[in-house]
Structure 1
Amino acid sequence: MTEQPPPPTPSAHALAVVMRDYLSYGESGMADLKEAVHSRSRKPVIGAFCQELRQILAGEVAVPTGVINREFRRRAEEDAALGQGDGDDPMHYDDQQAYEALADLWEYLDLTPEGEPHDAHSVLKATVKKSRSQLLWIDGDPVQALRTWMSWRSLALFVAGVVVCTVSWAVRERVDVTFLRSLLLLLTIAGFAMAGIGGGALWLRRVRYVNPDAFLPTEDKPKETRR
């Protein structure tokens, strides 16, 4: 039986592309990379790079130190050919330095633990999803939670409104006297309004219990500049 070859190691192709097209250009390249990462229509290679970076920092794949050092050498040779280099040896990282540099890059790009851009859209989406789940169920004692946010006056108003609205409408459909029908119609409308106010008050108390900052005005923040 022949010996099977070892599984191929990740080529870190996306990291090499990102280093060549963005990171080699210093601060301006870093800013361009962050903009590309947080773009609504990300390039596939940028998405692959984010996932690759997540796998490296999570220890799922080896740190591609060789890829990083090769890009340093390539950039130094290119600068020397253009007469822009200072003649010093190219930068060289060991595994620890490469890992720390990638960790700093992760923090700079502001990525989520899943390797997705941690922008305002994703934050809003996560908040809505969390609030939606909390509206259905809250961890802890449900009886104590109910006692905390429940308003018995609002509940009584809601129940009374439903009863008045239902009974008034049912009686109105059975009488033929014009005066009584008009009076019962007014009672029906009043009952409907009572039920709406009571139910709305309960809903607002429930939402504020889940999120105390709900319905509060938000301050407009100035947009960050790229440079």
Structure 2
Amino acid sequence: MTEQPPPAPPAHALAVVMRDYLSYGESGMADLKEAVHSVRQKPVIGAFCRHLRQILAGTAPVPTDVINKEFQRRADEETALGDGTPVEPVHYDDQQAYEALADLWEYLDLTPEGEPEGAVTSAKTAVRNRRSQLLWVDGDPVEALKTWMSWRSLALFGAGTVLCTGGWAAYQRIDATLLRSLLLLLTLAGFVMASVGGGALWLRRVRYVNPDAFLPSERKTKEERR
């Protein structure tokens, strides 16, 4: 039986989160929130959330030194990457550090226990967003159907289905070579028509449920965020 790695110390978890996420500003905050609400949360993220709850509850000291060390490290890094002009680091006192962590808590949507708000709901939402979501949307289903339905695509799908089914049925019953070739061609044409019509309806339905579906991702790597 393999040994499990020891849990990350709270101060170490905070330092890792500041280095890998918070130092990158708004984009890092957004990535941290996604990591916190991820279905498979990293152990260091879980340790950070628990430590944050302890700090705000007053059962753990405010890690002002850890926060200021990260500010100093980031300033030194920006100075080295710049034109040589020293970058003044941000410096927090205990009150400012506590208020910043409290704002972070609210931004991350954490429960009083330090868990992601509605973890089960978030997991279900993530699963739904990865599906075509063909079955249901909130609200009036009739109005939703009128909104995303395309009657041209539906007619193309219906005509293609009838043509494909009828052509194939006739193809199996007729022995004449010329007619069989023509019916096979009609069957293939019907199949293409039904595929185009059905695919168009599916795409309209997915875009209705999620307008951002199939758009390119704008996620940035750590190097790009620098």
TM-score tier after normalising by the smaller chain length: 0.5 to 0.7
Tell me, in whole angstroms, the C-alpha distance in 2 between the residues paired with 1:218 and 1:46.
Answer: 23
Determine if the alignment matches structure 1 residue 210 to structure 2 residue 205.
no
Partner of 1:3: none
Partner of 1:48: 47
Partner of 1:100: 99
Tell me, in whole angstroms, the C-alpha distance in 1 between the residues paired with 2:42 and 2:49.
Answer: 11
One-letter amino acid of the structure 1 residue matched with residue 18 of structure 2: M
Partner of 1:63: 58
Tell me, in whole angstroms, the C-alpha distance in 2 between the residues paired with 1:47 and 1:165.
Answer: 55
Q: CA RMSD in A?
A: 4.5
Offset from partner CA, 1:153-193 (integer Å, 9 cap, x none): 11111111111111111111111110010010001001101
Aligned residues: 173
Partner of 1:87: none
Determine if the alignment matches structure 1 residue 113 to structure 2 residue 110.
yes
One-letter amino acid of the structure 2 residue matched with residue 138 of structure 1: V
Change (3 A) 1:144 1:54: farther
Return 5+ residue gaps in structure 2 as ranges: 1-6, 24-31, 66-91, 117-121
Tell me, in whole angstroms, the C-alpha distance in 2 between the residues paired with 1:168 and 1:143.
Answer: 34
Contact conserved, 1:155 with 1:198, CA < 8 A, in 2?
Answer: yes
State the 1:105 CA deviation: 5.1
Matches within 5 A, 1:104-183: 104=103, 106=105, 111-113=108-110, 129-130=128-129, 132=131, 134-183=133-182
Tell me, in whole angstroms, the C-alpha distance in 1 between the residues paired with 2:20 and 2:217.
Answer: 29
One-letter amino acid of the structure 2 residue matched with residue 31 of structure 1: R
TM-score, with structure 1 as normaliser = 0.56
Contact conserved, 1:63 with 1:99, CA < 8 A, in 2?
Answer: no
Tell me, in whole angstroms, the C-alpha distance in 2 between the residues paired with 1:195 and 1:189.
Answer: 10
State the 1:132 CA deviation: 3.3
Partner of 1:18: 10
Tell me, in whole angstroms, the C-alpha distance in 2 between the residues paired with 1:180 and 1:132.
Answer: 42
Tell me, in whole angstroms, the C-alpha distance in 2 between the residues paired with 1:104 and 1:162.
Answer: 57
Tell me, in whole angstroms, the C-alpha distance in 2 between the residues paired with 1:133 and 1:55.
Answer: 41
Matches within 5 A, 1:72-91: none
Tell me, in whole angstroms, the C-alpha distance in 2 between the residues paired with 1:53 and 1:158.
Answer: 55
Return 5+ residue gaps in structure 1 as ranges: 1-13, 74-90, 118-122
One-letter amino acid of the structure 2 residue matched with residue 224 of structure 1: R
Tell me, in whole angstroms, the C-alpha distance in 2 between the residues paired with 1:158 and 1:54.
Answer: 56
Partner of 2:81: none
State the 1:150 CA deviation: 0.7
Q: Helix, strand or coil: the match of 1:132?
A: coil
Tell me, in whole angstroms, the C-alpha distance in 2 between the residues paired with 1:156 and 1:168.
Answer: 18
Tell me, in whole angstroms, the C-alpha distance in 2 between the residues paired with 1:220 and 1:92.
Answer: 33
Q: Helix, strand or coil: the match of 1:212?
A: coil
State the 1:220 CA deviation: 7.1
State the 1:204 CA deviation: 1.4
Q: Helix, strand or coil: the match of 2:180?
A: helix
Offset from partner CA, 1:23-57 (integer Å, 9 cap, x none): 6x8xx99326859x769998746523313434765
Contact conserved, 1:160 with 1:194, CA < 8 A, in 2?
Answer: yes
Change (3 A) 1:72 1:132: closer
TM-score, with structure 2 as normaliser = 0.57
State the 1:116 CA deviation: 7.3
